[in-house]
Amino acid sequence: MEHVYLLIYGNEWEDITVFLSVEEAIRESINHPNERVEVFSKKSDKPGYSPTYNYYENGKYIQNS
């Protein structure tokens, strides 16, 4: 799995949802248009996933340089 996606729509741990597919991430970003679904990617030189600083917002992919 190259990417995971996190929707954070509140202030508590219970408000975090992890998605494993880009389709789910896009759908949920549309369902929560005022929130971001952050994209995390797998790095070959590190364990776990690292933030890409890119995200989905209202179904659109926002890529930061």
Beta carbons of 5 and 18 less than 8 angstroms apart: yes
More confident call, 14 vs 44 = 14
Q: What is the pLDDT of residue 51?
A: 94
Express each pLDDT in 15-46 by its tens digit: 899 999 999 999 999 999 999 999 999 988 88
More confident call, 65 vs 20 = 20
Order of strands, sheet of 16-19, starting from the edge strand that comes earlier in the sequence: 16-19, 3-8, 36-42, 49-57, 60-62
